[in-house]
Amino acid sequence: MKTYSIIGLLSIGLLLSSCFGTTDKPTVGGSTPPAPNLKVVKLKKQDLTVYNEFATTLEGKQNVEIWPKVSGFVQNIFVEEGQKIKKGQLLFKLETQTLTQDANAAQASVNVAQVEVDKLKPLVDKQIISAVQLETAKAQLEQAKSNYQSVISNINYSRITSPVDGYIGEIPYKIGALVSSNMTKPLTTVSDVSEVRAYFSMSEKELLNFKSLIPNNDNSQMNIELLPKVTLIMVNGEEHQKLGKIAMINTIINSTTGSVTARADFDNKNNVLSSGSTGKIKIPTRYKAYEIPQVATVDLQGKKLIYVLNKDNSVSTMPINITANTQKGFIVENGIEEGTSVVLEGVSKLKDGMVINPTL
């Protein structure tokens, strides 16, 4: 009996030892996962250029409407639509038959008044009549001459010339049409497109941002002379060969649209651009700042955060103040020390305090 009791006790001890011994060994499934390999980059300030685009409408340097100063029928048209012309070149000739008749009558009145003056002079010299009569006759002569010159001027106005160099626009009135200064349309428009003016609009917010980038002159006004050259994207999507210059920014905000008008001027001596065309203005803004890739950021309650690498390879979030957007990400000027390492991938799965294995 005693022998069997000892054997039984030993069997129970071995069984218990076997059961409890297995709990001290960790299972493969419960092991701590290795730190993930994630790409990081050290931030360094660099020269960055961001372009803001604005829709624009082009106008020639001068768009001069040609109106007749006198009424008459169009007798001749000496130019064609689209033709390049010079200042002083004859454009239209109006019929002047009635004006010529008026001029003949006015000339006759001058002759009559001159005869009267010539007749009275010797009579005044002989004191037969008073000098008052002669002075009255002289005044009538001057009036007749003035009337004659007025008619001659009107005849000259029938020859309509161009006041500027440029290109002829549409000619809505043809030979034989009756024209006058009360018409709804001008005879034509002469457009000087040797220089083209590109007009565009800025919102109030865009204007404030623009002002912050422009130094003021001695009169505390924006010194647009220091602005960089701008690019014109033509309606076909191509860039105009010549860079332009901001020439005007109207700082009075339109209460209806909430915007202001600005203008950039472009050289167009090669006649590529046309008055009335449309396009886009690209205005560069230059920064000395960091460019944070979009993939390195996370959104939290409307704020952009990045994960920065600590000395122990743990990560922690940092909010960033975005100055401007780029095609790749965001421009940050301040709030980050140069040389800070930022995680570039897998940021959506990271949490503060996690340890990673950084790779370059």
Catalogue all structural domains in the chain, each as residue range(s) with its CATH number: 37-48+289-359 (2.40.420.20), 52-61+193-288 (2.40.30.170), 68-95+158-185 (2.40.50.100), 102-152 (1.10.287)
Residue 2 exposure: Cα atoms within 13 Å on the Cβ side: 0
Task: Provide the token pair at 341.
Answer: 């390492």
Going from the C-alpha of 165 to that of each of 37, 60, 88, 192, the distances in angstroms are 70, 11, 8, 6
Query: What whole-number distance in Å separates Cα of residue 123 and Cα of residue 129?
Result: 6
Query: What whole-number distance in Å separates Cα of residue 332 and Cα of residue 316?
Result: 18
| pLDDT value of residue 211 | 80
| Mean pLDDT, contiguous 10-residue spans, the chain (360 residues) | 46 46 47 86 92 92 90 92 93 80 77 81 78 81 82 80 92 93 91 92 87 70 82 94 92 88 93 91 91 92 92 94 89 92 93 91
Asked if 197 and 60 touch (Cβ cutoff 8 Å), the reply is: yes
Q: Which amino acid is at 257?
A: T
Query: What whole-number distance in Å separates Cα of residue 82 and Cα of residue 276?
Result: 14
Q: Which DSSP state fits 238?
A: P
Question: pTM to 2 decimals?
Answer: 0.64
Residues 6+ away with beta carbon under 8 Å from 231: 51, 239, 240, 243, 244, 281, 282, 284
